[in-house]
Amino acid sequence: MTNLVDRVTVPTLLTVASTPTTPGSIDTALLGEYLLGTWADARRESRRLMKDAAFHRDDSLNLDDQRERVLGQLRLLADAGSVLKAFPTALGGEDNHGANIAAFEEIVTADPSLQIKSGVQWGLFGAAVLHLGTQRHHERFLPGIMSLEVPGAFAMTETGHGSDVAAIGTTATYDEATEEFVIDTPFRAAWKDYLGNAALHGTAAVVFAQLVTKGVTHGVHAFYVPIRDAHGFLPNIGGEDDGLKGGLNGIDNGRLHFDGVRVPRENLLNRYGDVAADGTYSSAIASPGRRFFTMIGTLVQGRVSLDGASVVASKLALFIAITYGSQRRQFTAADPTKEEVILDYQRHQRRLLPKLATTYAMSFAHEKLLTAFDGVFSGARATDADREDLETLAAALKPLSTWSALEIIQEAREACGGAGFLAENRLTQLRADLDIYVTFEGDNNVLLQLVAKRLLSDYSRKFRNADAGALAGYVAGQVGDAAVNRSGLRKFVQTVADFGSTARSVGFVRDAASQRQLLTDRVQTMVASLAGRLRAAQKASPTEAAALFNANQNELIEAAFAHAELLQWEAFTEALEGVTDARTVEVLTWLRDLFGFTLIEKNLAWYLINGRLSAQRAAAITDYIDDRLLPRLRPHALDLVNAFGFEPEHVRAAIASGAERARQDEAAEYFRVRRAAGIEPVPEKSLTKKSLTGKR
């Protein structure tokens, strides 16, 4: 089985010298620097910019005013140049693709609408011209795009086809007589939809359409198309406003349609396919399928940046919730005069600390993804295999991080009670804005199918000449004695009589090698089982093969999900090797174990059904989380979120500002003074106890 992470090497990160604040605490400064990653300077620069209130969301604005404010903020970003790092140095950029994405991700702390609108302008519209166009397009179109003189839309998605880009209905038919392409949306479902900048601000668009010349369709290509002037839509172009949305209302999403719109032949972005004046089509990539996926692959940065933005948003939500949970007091325990902070309650720890572990895993995995992305787009590691690995890695991690972000933000909101529901504390709006991330840049379930197909492809190469019997034997071996002995799994499946302590019960699966074995074995077994079931599709008719694939679609997605979780765990484990402070390594190892055991606990039914864990040991894993890991991590929870490095201007949540601690201290002091002065009323229950004592 190919482990896609293995091909991606994370550069050694610089460490900083600092001293833990209190004995036994982690080195927050060192960890904070480590979390910033390879492009730390770009992140710091972006965070400095996002401290300016001019970039912050204003909740008092109506829909129209929100849109105008975000457009104005986009101009400020253009003036600052911080989002132009990926463009050519000859045009004022830096040709620094990793730094560009890192800086872009941090904008989510100011306003997700601003982040996504800037992503539309420079990460989609501009990037399409950069990566799909050639020198003439760069010189002609990019200066206006970079300066925001030409706001633009990325017109790929259609109402009818959504994620199925290869089947879009818009056509671009070449007219040899005029040397123009004629662009049409021939039916309502072919309208371009959900496009940022389309409803109001866009004056041009990169339009994806089926290229037709000399009666032959050559598949989807991209065209630069002017759509508006100062008076509105240009002739034969129309559109609609998508209107109020569930979130991201600072962006003017809308629809576009075309009826015989003519653009010059030179407006075809022709890096991967061109049309001569006489209508002859040419491409350096002979295979239409490979050509299409090569073109689409150049636009992978959208998925990479959504993965990273989800990590930043998750960090922000947990900083708010854990800070609040460390200050908010509720109910009395051992001391009748002192309430407990809610993060001291086990249930509160169970809600938030596994989410914190997941966020750290997401962060380290994203650093690997960003490294792979920069390697491909800088040309340093840009073979076909590198590109394929990048696309698969992005398709694996983006679903997990965007889904996790919604879960993390919602849990953070609930953990803050009614205060979390107040708009001033940002959590409700943050969740609403990130909701669309799970279907941005490819629906998550569709992306995971792509990952599963890659896993099956790798598997089939490994067993290309194996017959059905060999495959069946391999699958059976995954749960039989042979696999148990060969892989060391016997220590998992055997029943151990001596369960005198949780530590002894979990000791067999606590180390990193055992966690890796359990997580890896699940992926391998799921893929092997699927391969055996789908093998018949090779000799079936197209209809039968499609039906067989559909019958196993859910299992395909589950296998891809398990693979992506393994990638995150591997990234977390590898990251531990780069931390130099011993105490910080110890705490991060507990956090990694919490992440790993939470994954295993979530899938205990699979491990039990497939004989990977005994019932006793499965139960012991849950006990170990509750009795050992949560208590160990609780004292470090604040340090772990403080390491995220957010400043008050990034957080902007009243409940994480120290105000809650001040309220609690004021209340405690009020009652302390009254008790000391003897003016606090006597509780009724104490009178009852005295009366009962007297009767004895």
**What CATH number has the domain bearing residue 239?**
2.40.110.10
**Tokens 């572990």 sit on residue:** 357
Domain-located, residue 195: yes
Asked if the structure places residue 443 within a domain, the reply is no
pLDDT value at 493 more than 80: no
Q: Tell me which of 45-54, 581-590, 677-686 is least confident.
A: 677-686
CA–CA dist 615, 301 (Å, integer) = 44
CB 386 within 8 A of CB 300: no
What does 560-593 look like in DSSP terms, one character per residue? HHHHHHHHHHHHHHHHHTT---HHHHHHHHHHHH
Amino acid at 259: D
Into how many domains does the chain fold? 2
Which has more pLDDT, 329 or 516? 516
Choosing from 260, 288, 316, the residue where a domain stops is: 288
Rounded mean pLDDT of 527-552? 85
Residue 557, classed as helix, strand or coil, is helix
The letter for the amino acid at 372 is: A
Residue 506 pLDDT? 65
Parallel/antiparallel/unpaired status of strands 180-184 and 254-264: antiparallel
Strands 281-282 and 204-213, by their bridges, are: unpaired
Indicate the range of 16-20, 102-106, 268-272 predicted with least confidence.
16-20
Domain that holds residue 689: 658-695
Give the model's pLDDT for residue 119.
96
Cα 600 to Cα 343: distance, rounded to the nearest angstrom: 24
| pLDDT surpasses 50 at 483 | no
Position 333 scores a pLDDT of 65
Is residue 92 scored above 60 in pLDDT?
yes
pLDDT at 646: 97
Residues 6+ apart with CB under 8 A from 190: 158, 159, 160, 168, 169, 170, 257
Please give the average per-residue pLDDT across 70-79, as a whole number. Answer: 96
- Confidence check: pLDDT of 40 > 80: yes
**One-letter amino acid of 318:** L
pLDDT at 481 over 70: no
Residue 93 lies in a domain: no
Position 668 confidence tier, pLDDT thresholds 50, 70, 90: confident
User: Does residue 468 surpass a pLDDT of 50?
Assistant: no
Whether residue 45 has pLDDT greater than 60: yes
What is the pLDDT, as a whole number, of residue 488?
Answer: 35
The structure's pTM equals 0.90
Q: Six-digit token pair at 367?
A: 């650093």
668 part of a folded domain: yes
- Bigger pLDDT: 425 vs 17: 425
What type of residue is 474? Y
- Quick one: which of 219, 213, 216, 223 has its CA closest to 192? 223
pLDDT value, residue 501? 53
Two tokens, residue 343: 């993060």
**3-state SS record for 405-474:** HHHHHHHHHHHCHHHHHCHHHCHHHHHHHHHHHHCCCCCHHHHHHHHHHHHHHHHHHHCCCCCHHHHHHH
For 213-227, give the DSSP string: ETTEEEEEEEEEEE-
Written as six digits, the tokens of 313 are 């948003």
Give the model's pLDDT for residue 676.
Answer: 85
In order, the DSSP letters of 171-201 are: EEEEETTTTEEEEE--SGGGSEEEETTTTTT
In angstroms, rounded to a whole number, what is the distance separating the alpha carbons of residues 168 and 651? 41
- pLDDT given at position 688: 66
Boundary (domain end) residue, out of 239, 273, 288: 288
DSSP structure string for 347-411 = HHHHHHHHHHHHHHHHHHHHHHHHHHHHHHHHSTT-SHHHHHHHHHHHHHHHHHHHHHHHHHHHH
Q: What is the pLDDT of residue 471?
A: 45
CB neighbours of residue 670 within 10 Å: 11
pLDDT at 579 over 80: yes
Most confident of 298-302, 451-455, 641-645: 641-645
The least confident of 71-85, 167-181, 242-256 is 71-85
Query: What are residue 329's DSSP bridge partners?
Result: 341
- Of 74-78, 196-200, 225-229, 538-542, the least confident: 538-542
> What backbone phi and psi angles, to 5 degrees, belong to 183?
-100, 130
- CA triple 466-467-471, angle to 5 deg: 75
Indicate which residues carry an active-site annotation.
441
| Poorest-pLDDT segment among 121-135, 192-206, 249-263, 474-488 | 474-488
Q: Find the mean pLDDT for residues 384-408.
A: 95
Q: Give the separation between CA 244 and CA 620, rounded to whole angstroms.
A: 49
Q: Which residues pair with 217 in a beta bridge?
A: 212
pLDDT at 689: 58
Per the domain annotation, does 674 fall within a domain?
yes
Is 7 inside a domain boundary?
Answer: no
First vs last C-alpha separation in the chain? 76
Arithmetic mean of pLDDT, 335-362: 91
The whole-angstrom separation of Cα 258 and Cα 37 is 45
Mean pLDDT, rounded, of the chain: 88
The closest of 327, 249, 175 to 658, measured between CA atoms, is 327
Residue 664 is assigned to a structural domain of this protein: yes
pLDDT score recorded for residue 572 = 98
Residue 9 has what pLDDT? 34
Mean pLDDT confidence for 61-70: 97
pLDDT at 628: 94
At 465 the pLDDT is 55
Domain C-terminal end among 229, 253, 288: 288
Q: pLDDT above 70 covers what percent of the chain? A: 88
- Give the residue-averaged pLDDT of 642-659: 95
Is residue 174 within 8 Å of residue 277, measured between CB atoms? no
- Answer yes or no: is pLDDT of 408 > 50: yes
pLDDT band at 548 (very low <50, low <70, confident <90, very high): confident
In a domain, 303, yes or no: no
> In this model, does residue 365 exceed pLDDT 50?
yes
Q: How confident is the model at residue 475 (pLDDT cuts 50, 70, 90)?
A: very low
Which tops the pLDDT comparison, 234 or 481?
234
